[in-house]
Chain A
Amino acid sequence: MPDLSHHFHFKAGSMSFSRRNFLIATGVAAASTSVLSACSSGSEGGSSQDKAPKVTGAKTVEIPVGTKADSTGPAPEVTGAVKGGTIYSLQQFDMDHMDPAQIYVSTEGAITVPIMRGLTGYKLDAKGNATLVGDAATDAGTMKDGGKTWSFTLKDGLKWEDGAEVSSDDLRHTFERLFATFVTEGPRYVQDFLVGGDKYKGPYEGKSLDSIEVDGKTITFRLKEARADFNFTLAMRAYSLVPKKHDTKEKYDKQPISCGPYKVESRNIGKSMTFVRNEHWDPKTDAIRNAYPDKYLFQMGYELVASTDRWIADKGTDQYAVPIFNEVAPERIAQVLTNAELKKRVLTAVDTVTYYWPINMTRITDLKVRQAINYAWPHQQLQTIGGGAYSQEIATTIFAPVTPGYTKFDLYGVDKKPGGDPAKAKALLKEAGKVGQKLVIAYQQSDTAVKTAVAIKNALEEAGFTVVNKQVDKSTFYTQIGKIDNDFDLFAAGWSPDWPNGYSQFYPCWSGKNIGDGRSNYAQLNDPSVNKAIDAASQIADVAEANKAWGNIDKMIMELAAVVPDYHKIRNYLYGSKVGNVIWDSANTCVALSKLYAKK
């Protein structure tokens, strides 16, 4: 076939792996957080127009928990915003799921902000600073027993798109249906946390879960362990409300019912989706969403180059288009960022993801060897291969600089020697008596994978290692490195927290409790002091205290050299000239859909 070719990925660039792998690779930030001081809109940062964004050392900000007043609608007006019009979007991918329980991918979480509401959610101020507030609940929840019991009260006046009142039954049902067998793709935090969750099989056989108690408009969750950040967990899209009456089980995935300001008017899977106003939504019940446009029209199937070119051209309805996940194509990034006019329409943001290379602790047991790998690492070369400073910030920590708790440190002298320090690495190997140590490195196929692998091999061999590179098919990559018994010493991975704190960053990947086939502690780090520190930090109710503790854990793990941090992802988004108030939604790691307006 003439037109069938080898070009499946010919312009994928930074998104060269499929989104589903991306999901696993980065730990999709369904409700992950980032902090705004690290983001700059092009119009503000005009002074250094051809300099790449720099995030290291950016001031991190806490995400505070809001009060009842903060949780009460309506959302504060955006200065200069006008009602009406249509906002468009050009998207590479459509959503695979519309049932909140099945949503884990950040795009799906972001795109559904206008139609789905959970008990809690993130409220953005004019600068984009986020606060955790009650969304369907009157406030961000009440904790008892140090976090083992949580209560939320449903707001009055909340209605589904058919006009029916949102009831406590709907609330209970929302959480009980998470246990049904068709829910396989969403996060499983709440299921694991709730007492009796391990035995419960869902509400469809007529049984209810006793650890969820409903009293009038109040719902109470009883958890196995104290979870001080449970209200952050609930802000994940997976825990948005589903009406019991309209729950069509697996079919709900295709016909979600809204209680937000918009509802799905039409959907053509893989092509387009339209949101129109939900007449039954009362702005007084919603502190988060402004709902300025009359309509949203999402257009799917646009490759990055195609969408970037349309945004550059800025013609017709594209003037009203915003990206959800379509970054500026790597091929166009220099053109866009060096053009002062275009740069005014660029939103630059740092993702919460950190790409890193876990070291298999069961195979590389000698600390000095692991340290040597860190010293020898060719950070700068890898940054260049990956698109340079426009799209990557060299990492020295596991935390991304935009996640609360981030503490800056650089244990292996990367700042001074970004190209690596082979002499130091060699000395350490010699000390350990491991010169010539063999390393088997696993990596996925991608546009830059081979270049990356060669750069790493060269750098490590210069330091005295013997390197074997193994390319692993991307569909089985995480299965293979996720096996307890695997043959790799070092592998490409990455993680972004599911909600904005250290627990979500460190427990899944670095707690000895989360070692197992298919689990995400890929390094299989099982260090008693780290385990203890993670458990302890999880219990700290004071956010500032907790953040300090998590920053320390980051340092502990780096001292153990269980991982080589690689880079933090910088994303650049171009948008149409007639879209107003394009700010970064730190909570959903995308453009804040509910704050936009169409300029007249």
Chain B
Amino acid sequence: MLRFLVRRVIGALVILLIISAITFWLFYAVPRDPAMMSCGKNCTPENLAQIRKNLGIDHSIPVQYWYWLKGVFAGRDYAGYGYCDAPCFGYSFANNVPVFDTIMDRLPTTLSLAFGAAVVFLVLGVGAGMLAALKQGRFLDKFASSASLLGSSLQIYFVGYIAMYYFVAQLGWLDQPSWTPFSDDPVAWFSGLLLPWLVLAIIFTANYTRMTRSQLVEQLSEDYVRTARAKGLSRANVFFRFAWRGAMGPIVTVFGIDLGTLIGGAIITEQTFSLPGIGRLAVKSVDQSDLPMLLGVTLLAAGAIVFFNIIVDAVYALIDPRIRLA
């Protein structure tokens, strides 16, 4: 297990390194000039040159990348802002705030959104899938299946705006989506995120219902499930300890991927509900040609996916002893 982790973490770092290089390259692959974004109306060549110097982009692209890497691993001296300790991801081109600080500031929102929604869609999705599997072919099964189909074909901004209009503005059942740190006020944290969680859950639940149902149906027809019943184990016992155990693997895999991407930033959700998370940061950094921020956000998103991949593999091995980690 330890060897597995060490190997995978090293692999992950290599991947992130490659991603950072690709991001750097892609950023400059289209003609764009970040300095232009900070140049006022009288954008003279002298002023542009000064901005490039201040932003640290007055070098060739490979040299810029090298400085960036140096910043991450060894720290870096900025012309305008003094020495920046490792791991230094630089300063935002747009507002000169350290990238790392900004990401750390936004991360709680995105994490709350992702994990909260995950709890809801896991409970609802897996629960509905289990019921559907238990009641194969009956009304409940058909209802869950078609509801999940409907859910998966909906779009967040569509559901989001409608939900906000009815449940917040018209009926007043739910609070206006907003972000309050958990440490400030747990109740406000919860009520501000409840609607986004539910809306996100509507979209995701569908997939888990379908997956849980089909996995369980498959597992329930497995021979070992029949054996367990033949041993005299109860239906419930067999369902949870045998069939569900077998069904979990693929669900855990998809869950890991979903969680990874959600933490990389639920862009549309954050846009729709005006939540200050990583997703909005990503949009803003793209919009403003804010390379350091874009790199930070991209690495976080990639890192989250890679991280959850490792977790998924480890969990998979825990679930299924036939899988060996090496």
Chain A residues numbered 299-319 whose CB sits less than 8 Å from any CB in chain B: 300-303, 305-307, 309-310, 312-313, 315-316, 318
How close is A15's CB to chain B, nearest CB, in angstroms? 11
Q: If A250-B80, A479-B33, A519-B44 touch, does A3 touch B267 (CB 8 Å cutoff)?
A: yes
Q: If A271-B179, A475-B37 touch, does A518 touch B54 (CB 8 Å cutoff)?
A: no
**Majority secondary structure, A binding face:** loop
Write out the residue numbers on chain A whose beta carbons fall within 8 Å of the beta carbon of B50.
Answer: 181, 184
- Which residue of chain A has its CB nearest to the CB of B283? A8
How close is B207's CB to chain A, nearest CB, in angstroms? 9
A185 interfacial by beta-carbon distance below 8 Å:
yes
How close is B166's CB to chain A, nearest CB, in angstroms? 11
Write out the residue numbers on chain B whose beta carbons fall within 8 Å of the beta carbon of A253.
Answer: 95-96
User: Does A518 lie within 8 Å of B44, measured CB to CB?
Assistant: yes
User: Does B276 lie within 8 Å of A518, measured CB to CB?
Assistant: no
Write out the residue numbers on chain B whose beta carbons fall within 8 Å of the beta carbon of A203.
Answer: none
B287 interfacial by beta-carbon distance below 8 Å:
yes
B156 interfacial by beta-carbon distance below 8 Å:
yes
How close is A381's CB to chain B, nearest CB, in angstroms? 28
B300 interfacial by beta-carbon distance below 8 Å:
no
A157 to B279, CA, bound (A): 47
B275 interfacial by beta-carbon distance below 8 Å:
yes
User: Does A473 lie within 8 Å of B280, measured CB to CB?
Assistant: no
B289 interfacial by beta-carbon distance below 8 Å:
yes
Binds A, one of B3-11, B225-233, B258-266: B258-266
Tell me how many residues of B have a C-beta within 8 Å of chain A: 66
User: Does B36 lie within 8 Å of A476, measured CB to CB?
Assistant: yes
Write out the residue numbers on chain B whose beta carbons fall within 8 Å of the beta carbon of A318.
Answer: 176
B219 interfacial by beta-carbon distance below 8 Å:
no
User: Does B41 lie within 8 Å of A27, measured CB to CB?
Assistant: yes
A586 to B31, CA, bound (A): 37
Write out the residue numbers on chain B whose beta carbons fall within 8 Å of the beta carbon of A2.
Answer: 203, 258, 261
B286 interfacial by beta-carbon distance below 8 Å:
yes
Contact of A3 among B45, B266, B280, B286 (CB under 8 A): B266
A260 interfacial by beta-carbon distance below 8 Å:
no
Binds A, one of B13-21, B59-67, B157-165: B157-165
For B122-136 the 0/1 string (1 means CB < 8 A from A) is 000000000000000
A11 to B283, CA, bound (A): 13
User: Does B276 lie within 8 Å of A301, measured CB to CB?
Assistant: yes
For B34-69 the 0/1 string (1 means CB < 8 A from A) is 101111111111011011011000000000000000
Write out the residue numbers on chain B whose beta carbons fall within 8 Å of the beta carbon of A11.
Answer: 157, 271
How close is A315's CB to chain B, nearest CB, in angstroms? 7
User: Does B287 lie within 8 Å of A270, measured CB to CB?
Assistant: no
A20 interfacial by beta-carbon distance below 8 Å:
yes
B325 interfacial by beta-carbon distance below 8 Å:
no
User: Does A188 lie within 8 Å of B288, measured CB to CB?
Assistant: no
Contact of B36 among A188, A479, A508, A516 (CB under 8 A): A479
B273 interfacial by beta-carbon distance below 8 Å:
yes
Write out the residue numbers on chain A whose beta carbons fall within 8 Å of the beta carbon of B301.
Answer: 1
Contact of B165 among A181, A184, A185, A309 (CB under 8 A): A309
B105 interfacial by beta-carbon distance below 8 Å:
yes
B172 interfacial by beta-carbon distance below 8 Å:
yes
User: Does B41 lie within 8 Å of A184, measured CB to CB?
Assistant: no
Write out the residue numbers on chain A whose beta carbons fall within 8 Å of the beta carbon of B264.
Answer: 1, 4
A104 to B50, CA, bound (A): 17
Write out the residue numbers on chain B whose beta carbons fall within 8 Å of the beta carbon of A312.
Answer: 169
Chain A residues numbered 315-332 whose CB sits less than 8 Å from any CB in chain B: 315-316, 318
Contact of B33 among A97, A188, A476 (CB under 8 A): A476
User: Does B156 lie within 8 Å of A3, measured CB to CB?
Assistant: yes
A8 to B301, CA, bound (A): 17
Contact of A475 among B36, B262, B269, B283 (CB under 8 A): B36
User: Does B176 lie within 8 Å of A315, measured CB to CB?
Assistant: yes
Write out the residue numbers on chain A whose beta carbons fall within 8 Å of the beta carbon of B80.
Answer: 181-182, 250
Tell me how many residues of A have a C-beta within 8 Å of chain B: 63
User: Does B261 lie within 8 Å of A4, measured CB to CB?
Assistant: yes
User: Does B276 lie within 8 Å of A250, measured CB to CB?
Assistant: no
- Which residue of chain B has its CB nearest to the CB of A20? B37
Number of contacts between A and B (CB, 8 Å)?
Answer: 169
User: Does A270 lie within 8 Å of B283, measured CB to CB?
Assistant: no
Contact of B265 among A4, A18, A307 (CB under 8 A): A4
User: Does B272 lie within 8 Å of A3, measured CB to CB?
Assistant: no
For B199-228 the 0/1 string (1 means CB < 8 A from A) is 000010000000000000000000000000
A21 to B289, CA, bound (A): 11
User: Does B176 lie within 8 Å of A316, measured CB to CB?
Assistant: yes
B94 interfacial by beta-carbon distance below 8 Å:
yes
Q: If A250-B80, A473-B32, A479-B33 touch, does A268 touch B45 (CB 8 Å cutoff)?
A: no
Write out the residue numbers on chain A whose beta carbons fall within 8 Å of the beta carbon of B243.
Answer: none
Write out the residue numbers on chain A whose beta carbons fall within 8 Å of the beta carbon of B172.
Answer: 315
Chain B residues numbered 114-155 whose CB sits less than 8 Å from any CB in chain A: none
How close is B73's CB to chain A, nearest CB, in angstroms? 25
A24 interfacial by beta-carbon distance below 8 Å:
yes
User: Does B106 lie within 8 Å of A475, measured CB to CB?
Assistant: no
Write out the residue numbers on chain B whose beta carbons fall within 8 Å of the beta carbon of A185.
Answer: 38-40, 51
B97 interfacial by beta-carbon distance below 8 Å:
yes
User: Does A270 lie within 8 Å of B36, measured CB to CB?
Assistant: no
Q: If A96-B95, A97-B95, A271-B179 touch, does A482 touch B43 (CB 8 Å cutoff)?
A: yes
User: Does B279 lie within 8 Å of A3, measured CB to CB?
Assistant: yes
Write out the residue numbers on chain A whose beta carbons fall within 8 Å of the beta carbon of B43.
Answer: 24, 478, 482, 518-519
How close is A358's CB to chain B, nearest CB, in angstroms? 15
Write out the residue numbers on chain B whose beta carbons fall within 8 Å of the beta carbon of A136.
Answer: none
For A260-272 the 0/1 string (1 means CB < 8 A from B) is 0000000011110
Contact of A518 among B34, B45, B266 (CB under 8 A): B45
A128 to B281, CA, bound (A): 37
- Output the residue of B42, B81, B289 with the most chain A CB within 10 A: B42
How close is A324's CB to chain B, nearest CB, in angstroms? 15
Write out the residue numbers on chain B whose beta carbons fall within 8 Å of the beta carbon of A59.
Answer: none
- Which residue of chain A has its CB nearest to the CB of B260? A1
A315 to B54, CA, bound (A): 45
How close is B7's CB to chain A, nearest CB, in angstroms? 26
A269 to B281, CA, bound (A): 11
Write out the residue numbers on chain B whose beta carbons fall within 8 Å of the beta carbon of A482.
Answer: 43
A68 interfacial by beta-carbon distance below 8 Å:
no
- Which residue of chain A has its CB nearest to the CB of B101? A269
B274 interfacial by beta-carbon distance below 8 Å:
yes
A10 to B161, CA, bound (A): 13
A428 to B248, CA, bound (A): 76
A184 to B264, CA, bound (A): 33
User: Does A473 lie within 8 Å of B165, measured CB to CB?
Assistant: no
A525 to B56, CA, bound (A): 35
Chain B residues numbered 270-322 whose CB sits less than 8 Å from any CB in chain A: 271-276, 279-281, 283-284, 286-289, 301
Q: If A97-B95, A182-B54, A518-B45 touch, does A301 touch B40 (CB 8 Å cutoff)?
A: no
- Please list the 9 inter-chain residue pairs (A to B) with the smallest Cβ-Cβ separation, ordered nearest first: A313-B169, A475-B32, A1-B261, A96-B95, A518-B43, A302-B274, A18-B287, A271-B276, A184-B51
List 7 extra interface pairs beyond A8-B267, A270-B280, A475-B32, CB under 8 A. A5-B267, A23-B41, A94-B95, A184-B50, A185-B51, A301-B280, A478-B36
Seen from chain B, the residues whose Cβ lies within 8 Å of a Cβ on chain A are 30-34, 36-45, 47-48, 50-51, 53-54, 80-81, 94-97, 102, 105-106, 156-157, 161, 164-165, 168-169, 172, 176, 179, 203, 258, 261-262, 264-269, 271-276, 279-281, 283-284, 286-289, 301
Q: 21 A-B residue contacts at CB 8 Å?
A: A3-B262, A4-B264, A4-B265, A10-B271, A11-B271, A20-B38, A20-B288, A21-B37, A24-B39, A94-B95, A97-B95, A181-B50, A181-B80, A182-B54, A182-B80, A185-B51, A270-B105, A303-B271, A475-B37, A476-B33, A476-B36
